[in-house]
Amino acid sequence: MIEMRSIHKTYKRKNITTEALKEINLQVEEGDIFGVIGYSGAGKSTLVRLVNYLERPTGGKVIVDGQELDKMSDSKLRAMKKQIGMIFQHFNLLESKTIFDNVAIPLILSKKPKAEIKKRVMELLEFIGLSDKAKSYPKELSGGQKQRVGIARALASNPKILLCDEATSALDPQTTQSILQLLKRVNQEYNITVMIITHEMSVIQEVCNRVAVMEAGEIIEQGSVLDVFGHP
Ligand code: ADP
Ligand code: ADP
């Protein structure tokens, strides 16, 4: 579903050059809950941003759902981006919009009919267990609830892939558990391939089937969670 071949990424800022990724080879299969773990600065965020083309590689190929991103026309790339949802550490909700509107944003942007938007948003709010919060604003929700809304918004345009960048890092352990269980349901009930970036081993062991371990821009190990980390 996601493949990286010989990926290199170098950032150049004025006269400072950072080699964020060096020779990354990665394979995420359809249906995986794939974890990427490593310390801060290892290159995890850069790696995940290559998948939805927020960053372009300096060298190598990123292939998503059988198509090489660099070779796609702009219109195909826009369509591909809709196949990829993303959630963030700090949720990135719009504070001035209701929960309903936050979830509806991707659908409004792609000009779906109003009735369809309403149906889809209410379905998603039910899925995340927050149907009663449609008219609330983000500031009225707990961190865990906000992340649930982030997940619903990411699912709105029916993606095949959900990217999670430190999505539980701002949450307490119990709330983290409930979000991870929700991600498991996203994977199973919606058949979505999930990629989870984290610095926490417990997150990987809780939900991932496969993992890549990153250190200083390289993947130092990759395989099933059991093979890489052994039995819990
Ligand atoms: P992680 O997510 O594992 O913390 P990042 O991918 O954010 O790692 O960062 C990898 C390296 O690339 C770090 O040295 C970081 O400072 C650098 N880096 C990340 N983004 C940028 C950027 N936009 N411009 C310059 N350097 C960056
Ligand atoms: P927090 O712990 O930060 O309040 P959670 O993400 O654990 O947030 O849960 C948010 C709210 O959604 C809670 O009030 C919980 O009772 C409710 N909730 C969680 N899962 C479900 C579910 N599957 N169906 C209905 N409601 C749920």
**pTM score, whole prediction:** 0.88
- Mean pLDDT on 44-73: 92
Burial (Cβ within 10 Å: 0-12, 13-18, ≥19) of residue 214: buried
Ligand 1 centroid–CA 26 distance in Å is 19
Buried b vs exposed e over 2-14: b needs ≥16 C-beta within 10 Å?
A: bbbbebebeeeee
The radius of gyration computed from the CA coordinates of the chain, to the nearest angstrom, equals 18
44 lines ligand 1 (CB under 6 A): yes
CA distance 187 to 90: 22
**What's the farthest any 2 CA atoms get from each other in the chain?**
53
Complex prediction ipTM: 0.69
CA distance 161 to 229: 25
User: Who's near 106: CB < 8 A, 6+ residues apart?
Assistant: 82, 153, 156, 157
CA distance 129 to 215: 37
9, amino acid identity? K
pLDDT at 231: 67
Instruction: Kindly report, residue by residue over 160-203, the tens digit of the pLDDT.
Output: 999 999 999 999 999 999 999 999 999 999 999 999 999 999 99
pLDDT at 232: 59
CA distance 208 to 225: 7
Please report which confidence band the pLDDT of residue 35 belongs to, taking 50, 70 and 90 as the band edges.
very high
pLDDT at 90: 95
Query: What is 167-195 written as a DSSP string?
Result: TTTTS-HHHHHHHHHHHHHHHHHS--EEE
E strand or H helix at 4: strand 2-13
Which atom of ligand 1 lies closest to the CA of 49?
Answer: 6
Residue nearest to atom 17 of ligand 2 (CA): 129
Instruction: Kindly report, residue by residue over 196-215, the tens digit of the pLDDT.
Output: 999 999 999 999 999 999 99
Instruction: Kindly report, residue by residue over 102-132, the tens digit of the pLDDT.
Output: 999 999 999 999 999 999 999 999 999 999 9
Tokens of 159: 């993606």
175 lines ligand 2 (CB under 6 A): yes
User: Who's near 164: CB < 8 A, 6+ residues apart?
Assistant: 86, 87, 183, 194, 195, 196, 197
181 lines ligand 2 (CB under 6 A): no
What torsion, rounded to 10 degrees, do the Cα atoms 57, 62, 68, 72 define? -40
In contact, 202 and 171? CB cutoff 8 Å: no
Which is more confident, 217 or 77? Answer: 217
pLDDT at 222: 96
Closest CA to 24 of 54, 53, 48: 48
